[in-house]
Amino acid sequence: MGEIPAIETERLTKSFGATRALSGLDLTVQQGGILGLLGPNGAGKTTAVRVLATLLLPDSGHARVLGADVVRRADDVRRRIGLTGQYAALDDYLTGLANLVMIGRLARLTRPQARRRADELLGRFELTEAAGRAVKTYSGGMRRRLDLAASLIGRPEVLFLDEPTTGLDPHSRAVMWEIIRELAAEGTTLLLTTQYLDEADQLASQVAVIDTGRVIAEGTPDQLKAKAGEDRIAVRLAPGSDLPAAVTVVQAETTGRVETDPGQLLITAPIPAREGITTDVVRALDTAGIRVSDVTLRRPSLDDVFLILTGHGAGPGPAPAGSGAAPEAGAGPGAGAGQGAAAGQGAGAGLGAGAGQQGGAAA
């Protein structure tokens, strides 16, 4: 507490011609933890990251990383951050090892130091076996891990991850999540942009939802979900059950108005957010001699929040125009982002499109 924020932006603006990518972005991220920057395609997430990583000059406003202004003290900032992009900074024709050593050398490590750090990171990200292969033979998941490894060469205190799992298969995604959690546990501050709301839910300690270049909501995932309504339980009774008796039981265990659908023998009610509530309801019904055929929990998801806030889903839409040709403000090697070729990253993978989390719970 009381320490310098890891990341701060004040009324940050940036336009590309007539497009206002950032229109007064205000963000504060304390040291440690993971900020999930959520927003639909074109919201300004990548632009914000690029400004913070000193790759792009803002038009107005201020941005600081660990207290250092990203414009006036860009070199200091670069030394302390890492960045993994939607566009990998890797050389396809070099091996994984050669890529990391090169990046280490650019970060001013001696050759033996660079080699040692590369070996360490390749081991950590389960790439040792593939270390001697050209990166062009890597799978998407391996490439993404190597990209992340590259961003860690200089032991950054603040790490920017721009859509680190977009397009990855579920296994690779799980591996990335694990690595991200480990980094946070080690004290690295992470800013993660994502279009996957479940990813923010799983990883982020704090979420900022942005749309049209400004923050439209902030809080913990739970605080945001609370805006989308309450948790509800739905209990379906076994055929022939006594519905009014069951309603009385459910009423006693839950917190608000109980609703019924007699035709379906279905009871729904808001529930307090506490562990074991489902079991308690089912047990109480059982004790009263009422048989239950199905119980489900309906929790508002970040998708619901998103829809309410923005009026549309967060799903990947068409690729943003011209995102490959940004005027750059001197990309430093310290930032771990070189002039990489676009790492063909199909906008494929959808967004848990409006699928409310159905936590099925059997008795």
Ligand X SMILES: Nc1ncnc2c1ncn2[C@@H]1O[C@H](COP(=O)(O)OP(=O)(O)O)[C@@H](O)[C@H]1O
Q: Residue 16's binding partner, choosing from Mg ion, ligand X, none, with beta-carbon cut-off 5 to 8 A by kind?
A: ligand X
Q: Does 214 bind ligand X (CB under 6 A)?
A: no
Q: How far is the CB of 325 from ligand X (least distance, A)?
A: 6
- CA separation, residue 274 to residues 170, 279, 280 (Å): 29, 11, 11
Evaluate whether 84 touches 336 at the Cβ level (below 8 Å). Answer: yes
Contact 271, 231 (CB under 8 A): yes
47 is an interface residue for Mg ion by CB under 5 A: no
- Residue 346 binds ligand X (CB under 6 A): no
| Angle at alpha carbon of residue 157, lines to 151 and 161, rounded to 5° | 45
Q: Which residues contact 282 (CB under 8 A, 6 or more apart)?
A: 235, 292, 295, 361, 363
Nearest to 251 by CA among 276, 223, 284, 226: 284
Residue 164 touches ligand X, criterion: CB under 6 A: no
Residue type, 10: E
Q: What residue type is 150 in one-letter code?
A: A
DSSP 137: G
| Residue 166 near Mg ion by CB under 5 A | no
Of 35-43, 218-226, 256-264, 344-352, the window that binds ligand X (rule: CB under 6 A) is 35-43
Span near ligand X by CB under 6 A; candidates 40-48, 102-110, 216-224, 232-240? 40-48
State the minimum distance, in angstroms, from the CB of residue 280 to Mg ion: 44
Closest among 144, 176, 191 to 29, alpha carbons compared: 191
Of positions 46, 151, 195, 278, contacts Mg ion by CB under 5 A: 46
Q: Does position 44 bind ligand X by CB under 6 A?
A: yes
Question: Which residue in the block uniquely carries the two structure tokens 């906008």?
Answer: 347
- The 10 Å Cβ neighbour count of residue 190 is 25
Question: Which range, of 179-187, 197-205, 232-240, 321-329, touches ligand X by CB under 6 A?
Answer: 321-329
Q: Give the residue with the Cβ less far from ligand X, 162 or 253.
A: 162
The entry of ligand X, Mg ion, none near residue 321 (CB within 5 to 8 angstroms by kind) is: ligand X
- Span of 43-51, 101-109, 115-123, 135-143 interacting with ligand X by CB under 6 A: 43-51
What is the DSSP code (8-state) at residue 5? P
Shortest approach of ligand X to residue 47 CB, angstroms?
A: 3
Residue 337 phi/psi, 5-degree rounding, is: -125, 110
Position 23 contacts ligand X (CB under 6 A): no
CA 185 to chain centre: 16
Contact between 9 and ligand X by CB under 6 A: the answer reads no
**How many residues bind ligand X, per CB under 6 A?**
17
Contact footprint for ligand X (CB under 6 A): 16, 19, 21, 39, 41-47, 320-323, 325-326
Contact footprint for Mg ion (CB under 5 A): 45-46
